[in-house]
């Protein structure tokens, strides 16, 4: 099954505004989803950059989002647990919560992936993408993604 994933902050395959990057306020964009199956128990949101020079770079992991929640607002605090009770994982900047696009050069793609699971993962906050993906194995009922692009404007 496919989830419909969108954002009021940017459109699919369009530039992510600087306020959501290291060149701006570095706050998380709003993400919305719909179409989760009735049997879903939780939602996971991940953002990564497959174009990073060292391999896929993880920018954000949020898990154990209650299935009653259908969006994340802009500027989610970079805390282990957020207001809806969901947990945030460790990004590749080695920080909990969102770390925005900050490509060293060129235009990079940022995949915001949303998964509907048939279980709560019940992992503590601060887990890595690898930990969360391992726990998700065999539990994904539906997924979808939204892709944004970003390239830094260098000051000459």
Q: What residues contact 73, with CB distance under 8 A and at least 6 apart?
A: 30
Whether residue 30 contacts residue 10, with contact meaning beta carbons closer than 8 Å, is answered with no
**Structure tokens that stand for 46 in this block:** 């991940």
Whether residue 33 is predicted with pLDDT greater than 50 in this model: the reply is yes
Structure confidence at residue 1 (pLDDT): 80
Whether residue 37 is predicted with pLDDT greater than 90 in this model: the reply is yes
Domain 4-150 in this protein, CATH class: alpha beta
Question: How many whole angstroms separate alpha carbon 154 and alpha carbon 156?
Answer: 6
Question: At 154, is the pLDDT very low, low, confident or very high (cuts 50, 70, 90)?
Answer: low
Q: What residues contact 133, with CB distance under 8 A and at least 6 apart?
A: none
Mean pLDDT of the chain: 96
Whether residue 48 contacts residue 58, with contact meaning beta carbons closer than 8 Å, is answered with yes
Per-residue CA distances from 146 to 15, 49, 57 (Å): 12, 12, 16
Across the range 4-24, mean pLDDT stands at 97
pLDDT in tens, 55-109: 999 999 999 999 999 999 999 999 999 999 999 999 999 999 999 999 999 999 9
pLDDT in tens, 119-131: 999 999 999 999 9
Question: How many whole angstroms separate alpha carbon 140 and alpha carbon 138?
Answer: 6
The larger pLDDT score, comparing residue 54 to residue 90, is at 90
Whether residue 156 is predicted with pLDDT greater than 50 in this model: the reply is no
Structure confidence at residue 121 (pLDDT): 98
């Amino acid at each position: 099954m496919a989830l419909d994933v969108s954002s009021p902050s940017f459109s699919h395959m369009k530039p992510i505004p600087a306020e959501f990057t290291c060149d701006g306020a570095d706050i998380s964009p709003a993400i919305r989803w719909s179409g989760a199956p009735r049997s879903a128990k939780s939602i996971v949101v991940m953002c990564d950059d497959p174009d990073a020079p060292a391999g896929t770079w993880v920018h954000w992991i949020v898990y154990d989002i209650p299935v009653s929640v259908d969006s994340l607002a802009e500027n989610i605090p970079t805390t282990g647990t957020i207001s809806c009770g969901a947990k945030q994982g460790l990004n590749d900047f080695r920080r909990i919560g969102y770390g925005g696009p900050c490509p060293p050069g060129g235009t990079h793609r940022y995949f915001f992936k949303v998964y509907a699971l048939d279980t709560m993962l019940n992992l503590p906050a601060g887990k890595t993408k690898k930990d969360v993906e391992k726990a998700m194995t065999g539990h994904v009922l539906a997924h979808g993604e939204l892709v944004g692009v970003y390239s830094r404007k260098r000051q000459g």
